[in-house]
């Protein structure tokens, strides 16, 4: 049994300022006010710290940076997974969906072969019995890459419950995140240190090359639709721009609109019953680095179910508490954006709330100079140290 007393516990609909939370055998068995004389002797005194459900992150690309922090500096995949695990847990994240990209993008080091290596390493760590968080996978498919589709198909042969997340993506300049191709051109200028003219030539070459494979989009979406119907994938439409795109996605079995780039797309997704994911870094930065709709505007409009880290593990918690401090949403609603909301995005009903019967995934947080500090993270899967450790 683990008990946590004198916490400021954030429940789905309210905050208990002096709470006692008890976890037994990985499940929450009690949530309520701390009563004099009823506190277990072994309870941890939280001293008024916020006690939240563990954060659920449905889109994390941070593992890529962990494996290749500098150009040419590459680490072994197994080491990268276990190393990054520590970063996520330190950010209060207890369930993380690692983005694994099935595409050929050599500048980012993405290949189908590498995707299979990552898939295997993440699954191995998850099954090891020693993982510090619940490792899961967000399969990312380049809509115009036939090799990517074949490679992904091989990974989705089973019908697990819930089905794995699969994101249908097309980052061709002129649509989606880079619907203004000038944004992509400026990104190339900044990251590659090249002239505007050279960047523009690269954009035009990239678009021309990818346009030769535009027919693959329909093939890929059709296959993903089949997999969704078979219960082998839970589909996300990545960077939708218009209501028409949402309609196409819905017709093909898509369940989630991920990072809608416009208010129109987000409203259409909500009206049609899709879950909506926005980027936590967007909230923290005050807007999109690509010039798209601000995530905080979508939250204020009630159009967001979950905030994901995208590329920064500490962003979800900080973004949620920033929104609460600005009174854009209540504290319970803000916390839900990074806990129960993302859990529902992923089809996970067993976590994300401080409610009896839920997984005992917890994060203890204090506010220091306006920003959160994670003081402790607890997961349902925490086990004692292996024999011999600490002797």
Q: What tens digit of pLDDT does each residue of 173-187 get?
A: 777 677 777 777 877
Q: Which residues of 271-306 are buried (b: 16+ CB within 10 A; e: fewer)?
A: eeebbbbbbbbbbbeeebebebbbbbbbbeeebbbb
Q: Is 151 helix (H, G, I), strand (E, B) or coil?
A: helix
pLDDT tens-place string over residues 136-192: 999 999 999 999 999 999 999 888 889 999 999 997 777 767 777 777 787 787 877
Q: What is the pLDDT of residue 107?
A: 64
**165-169 and 134-142 beta bridge pairing:** parallel
Is residue 232 within 8 A of residue 149, CB to CB? The reply is no
Of 390 and 352, which is predicted with more confidence? 352
Q: What is the mean pLDDT of residues 272-277?
A: 98
Cis peptide before 162 (omega within 30 of 0): yes
No. of H helices and E strands in the chain?
14, 15
Q: What is the pLDDT of residue 388?
A: 47
Task: Place 391 in a pLDDT band, splitting at 50, 70 and 90.
Answer: very low
Largest CA distance in the chain: 74
User: At residue 230, does pLDDT exceed 60?
Assistant: yes
Q: Which residues contact 54 (CB under 8 A, 6 or more apart)?
A: 92, 93, 94, 95, 339, 351, 352, 359, 361, 362, 363, 377, 378, 379
Q: What is the pLDDT of residue 209?
A: 80
> Could you tell me the residue ranges of all domains in the chain?
53-178+210-352
Is residue 106 within 8 A of residue 144, CB to CB? The reply is no
Task: Give the sign of the dihedral formed by CA 381, CA 384, CA 386, CA 391.
Answer: positive
Of 306 and 187, which is predicted with more confidence? 306
Regarding the domain delimited by 53-178+210-352, which CATH topology (the fold level of the hierarchy) does it fall under?
Answer: TIM Barrel (3.20.20)
The model carries a pTM of: 0.93
Of 30 and 198, which is predicted with more confidence? 30
Nearest-angstrom CA–CA distance, 339 and 324: 14
Nearest-angstrom CA–CA distance, 52 and 336: 9
What are the two backbone dihedrals, phi and then psi, of residue 139, each rounded to the nearest 5 degrees? -80, 125
Q: Write the secondary structure of 287-329 as one string of H (helix), E (strand) and C (coil).
A: CCCCCCCCHHHHHHCCCCCEEECECCCCHHHHHHHHHHHCCCC
Of 77 and 192, which is predicted with more confidence? 77
Q: What is the pLDDT of residue 161?
A: 87
């Amino acid at each position: 049994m683990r008990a946590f007393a004198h916490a400021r516990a954030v429940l789905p609909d309210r905050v208990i300022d002096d709470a006692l939370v008890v976890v037994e055998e990985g499940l929450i068995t009690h949530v309520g006010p701390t009563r004099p004389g009823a506190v277990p002797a072994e309870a941890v005194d939280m001293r008024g710290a916020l006690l939240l459900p563990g954060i659920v992150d449905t889109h994390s690309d941070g593992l890529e940076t962990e494996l290749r922090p500098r150009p040419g500096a590459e680490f072994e995949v197994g080491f990268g997974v276990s190393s990054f695990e520590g970063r996520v847990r330190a950010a209060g994240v207890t369930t993380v969906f690692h983005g694994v990209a099935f595409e050929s993008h050599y500048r980012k080091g993405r290949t189908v072969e590498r995707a299979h290596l990552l898939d295997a390493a993440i699954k191995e760590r998850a099954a090891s019995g020693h993982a510090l968080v619940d490792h899961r996978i967000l399969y990312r498919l380049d809509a115009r890459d036939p090799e990517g589709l074949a490679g992904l198909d091989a990974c989705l042969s089973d019908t697990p419950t819930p089905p794995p997340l699969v994101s249908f993506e097309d980052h061709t300049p002129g649509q989606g995140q880079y619907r203004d191709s000038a944004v992509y051109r400026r990104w190339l200028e900044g990251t590659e240190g090249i002239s505007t003219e050279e960047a523009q030539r690269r954009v035009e070459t990239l678009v021309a090359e990818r346009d030769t494979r535009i027919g693959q989009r329909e093939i890929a979406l059709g296959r993903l639709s089949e997999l969704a119907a078979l219960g082998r994938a839970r589909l996300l439409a990545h960077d939708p721009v218009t209501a028409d795109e949402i309609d196409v996605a819905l017709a093909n079995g898509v369940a989630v609109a991920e990072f809608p780039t416009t208010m129109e797309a987000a409203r259409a997704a909500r009206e049609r019953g899709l879950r909506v994911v926005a980027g936590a870094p967007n909230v923290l930065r005050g807007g999109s680095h690509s010039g798209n709709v601000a995530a905080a505007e979508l939250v204020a409009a009630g159009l967001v179910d979950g905030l994901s880290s995208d590329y920064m593990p500490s962003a979800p918690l900080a973004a949620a508490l920033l929104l609460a401090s600005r009174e854009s949403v209540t504290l319970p609603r803000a916390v839900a954006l990074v806990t129960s909301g993302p859990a529902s995005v992923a089809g996970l009903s067993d976590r994300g709330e401080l409610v009896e019967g839920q997984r005992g995934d917890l994060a203890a947080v204090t506010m220091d100079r306006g920003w959160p500090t994670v003081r402790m993270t607890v997961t349902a899967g925490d086990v004692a140290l292996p024999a011999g450790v600490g002797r």
